[in-house]
Amino acid sequence: MEILTEKDTNISAAPPKKSSSQWAIARKKFLKNKLALTSLIFLIFVAIISFLAPYITTADVTRINIGEMSLEPSSQHWLGTDKAGRDVFTRLLYGGRISLLVGMSCTLFVILLGTLIGAVAGYFGGTVDSLLMRFTDFILNFPFLVFVIVLNAILFGKVNGLWVLIGVISLLSWGGIARIVRSKILAEKENEYIIAAVSIGCSPAKIIVKHLLPNVLSTIIVQATITFASMIVIESALSFLGFGVPQEIPSWGNMLDSAIEPDVLQFKLWIWMPPAILITITILSINFIGEGLKDAFNPKSRR
């Protein structure tokens, strides 16, 4: 191709330009969106320093140090120490590790489960669809927080706490994604290329995975960012209430639970302010990324 155009340079000025793919357009649009890009960089930065926590700080996160209780920020303890004498900065890093891990794992499970159920229901339709959707309605009609708290109280202590939490949250929150994926698949499967795929004998699994899912992927990605933000909120809210990540593991929500004591809330700002601000900025930046992606995938938006 290139050789040909080189030869033809004297005849035609430029070779026919290949129009960019949907993904290339989206990437270009996203990279132009400064707010979303800054948010993404911030999020990656938080994730990296959180996951490298053991290399960045040397302080012990779990050891209770009665001699250094509730110290104000100083050169030794950048953000002071909490009521048990643990370094707040160290706990913030380790807490980020847990909060982001819980958020990501829940998002992954929710998206996988929701996409699977939504895609199967949407593609097959009929009885399969109505059965699966009744089940989805059933899950969606549970008051989410109430059941997560009850389930955590039951399972607590029997299995490793963190994975119980991730499992419980994921099992109760895939309903919304399933509904969205189903409606997208329902619209998409009416296209001729699907009929063509069926007529040449593609198996349903292949049609769903190779033909349908790539076309609804942009929706799924946008939903995944929204889910990620809400999962971090849910984890920290549950930990704050004492029904989330076990007390001995630091997480952003766990770090905040001492803010319920008036003394800490009023006079020891360094204990609760850093995790509170960090959670908010993290959620904010995830939301900005989500908005940016939504905009980037939207063919109508011109930026």
Residues that bind other proteins (CB under 8 A): 137-138, 140-147, 149-151, 153-154, 157, 229, 233, 236-237, 240-241, 243, 256, 259-260, 262, 265-266, 269, 272, 276, 279-280, 283-284, 287
Q: Which is nearer to other proteins, 43 or 259 (CB)?
A: 259
DSSP string, 49-65: HHHTHHHH--S-SS---
Q: Which is nearer to other proteins, 119 or 232 (CB)?
A: 232
Q: CB-based contacts of 281: which residues, under 8 Å, 6+ apart?
A: 42
Q: Which is nearer to other proteins, 45 or 138 (CB)?
A: 138
Shortest reach from residue 108's CB to other proteins, in Å: 21
* Backbone φ and ψ of 20, nearest 5°: -70, 155
Q: Which is nearer to other proteins, 8 or 137 (CB)?
A: 137
Shortest reach from residue 56's CB to other proteins, in Å: 25
Instruction: Give the CA dihedral 148, 246, 238, 118, nearest 10 degrees.
Output: -50
Shortest reach from residue 283's CB to other proteins, in Å: 4
User: Amino acid letter at 118?
Assistant: G
Length of the chain: 303
Q: Which is nearer to other proteins, 57 or 223 (CB)?
A: 223
Q: Which long-range contacts (CB under 8 A, 24 or more apart) does 255-260 make?
A: 255/82, 255/88, 255/91, 255/92, 255/95, 258/82, 258/83
Q: Which is nearer to other proteins, 140 or 217 (CB)?
A: 140
Q: Which is nearer to other proteins, 194 or 231 (CB)?
A: 231
User: Please, what is the Cα angle at 228 between 168 and 287, to 5 degrees?
Assistant: 150
Q: Please check whether residue 87 is in contact with residue 59, taking contact to mean a CB–CB distance below 8 angstroms.
A: yes
Shortest reach from residue 141's CB to other proteins, in Å: 5
Sign of the dihedral through C-alpha 270, 275, 276, 281: positive
Q: Which is nearer to other proteins, 57 or 114 (CB)?
A: 114
User: Amino acid letter at 241?
Assistant: L
Q: Please compute, for residue 247, the number of CA atoms within 13 A of its CA located in the half-sphere on the CB side.
A: 7
- Minimal CA–CA distance to 162: which of 82, 253, 223, 93? 253
Shortest reach from residue 184's CB to other proteins, in Å: 18
